[in-house]
Amino acid sequence: MEFKDKVAVITGGASGIGRSVAMALAKEGADIVIADMNDSRLEEARQQIQDTGRRVLTVHCDVSNYADVEKLAAQTIATMGKADILMNNAGVVVRGWLENLSMADWEWAIGINLLGVIRGVQAFLPYMLKQGSGYIINTASGAGFLITDPKNISYSTCKFGVVGLSEGLFAYLRPKGIMVSVLCPAEVRTNLISNSRYVGTEDEIKEMRQMGKMAYEIPREGLMEPDELAQKVIEAMKQKRFIISTHEQLKDILMNQGLDIQKLEKHFQDTYK
């Protein structure tokens, strides 16, 4: 895929993975629309992308609210004239033992991590179908293939859903000229944990916060930087790969679980030509 003069829309794009992918696409010649709820980070991202010389639009958007996502799509078309790439990237985590999660916790997680992706597709797909072209990238996780932490069951549930949704979209939309990929990274240094909800006793919450900081915010061996991940995303998009797996250790884990990611990729490509 060529990115020159394409318009890319990224939810959760003001920091972390979204912001790094936005910058990488801008450097490839794309114009960028960033949607996020953090206005100060939106402004920082706007200035950073503007410095590349590409057009940029920032939109305050809550992906748990369909009216916001519809407004995002309308503003994108009105300002940029089209939407070539949609990256449904906004995400949150609820951490805690299953019995401590309330229905409100489940609804918050699903409303952003899974329904937020669905809302993005619903809002932008009519424009892409009319164009007869487009590229949708849904951010899932390695946790969308296997559960690695019993305190993250709600997160894995959502990400399994994103992987399944993406496969269905791939099968349906590829013949219509719209490519679909699902991004499944392992550990990346982002602020996802700082924006998490924690449930449990005071001591449990304190321990989970500390472990989260050590796992995802403090640089260490095996923890990927968002800019490095963004380059892997660009490479995968150019190759039009369905599964974007960014970490070799995830591939090893999946093979040990009987899920060879290369065979899965070939299956998707062969089945949904």
Question: Which residues participate in catalysis according to the annotation?
Answer: 155
Evaluate whether 156 touches 147 at the Cβ level (below 8 Å).
yes
Give the whole-angstrom CA distance, residue 157 versus residue 143.
Answer: 8
DSSP H or E run through 3: none
Q: Which residue has the tokens 């409303």?
A: 111
Q: Which residue has the tokens 């995400």?
A: 91
Q: Which residue has the tokens 């500390």?
A: 210
Evaluate whether 31 touches 56 at the Cβ level (below 8 Å).
yes
Give the whole-angstrom CA distance, residue 47 versus residue 102.
Answer: 40
Measured at the alpha carbon of residue 35, what is the angle toward residues 210 and 131, in degrees to the nearest 5? 135
Q: Which residue has the tokens 């099968």?
A: 171
CB atoms near residue 236 (< 10 Å): 19
Give the DSSP per-residue string, 110-134.
HHHHTHHHHHHHHHHHHHHHHHT-E
Evaluate whether 157 touches 108 at the Cβ level (below 8 Å).
no
Give the whole-angstrom CA distance, residue 99 versus residue 157.
Answer: 15
Torsion of CA 60, 66, 69, 71, to 10 degrees: -80
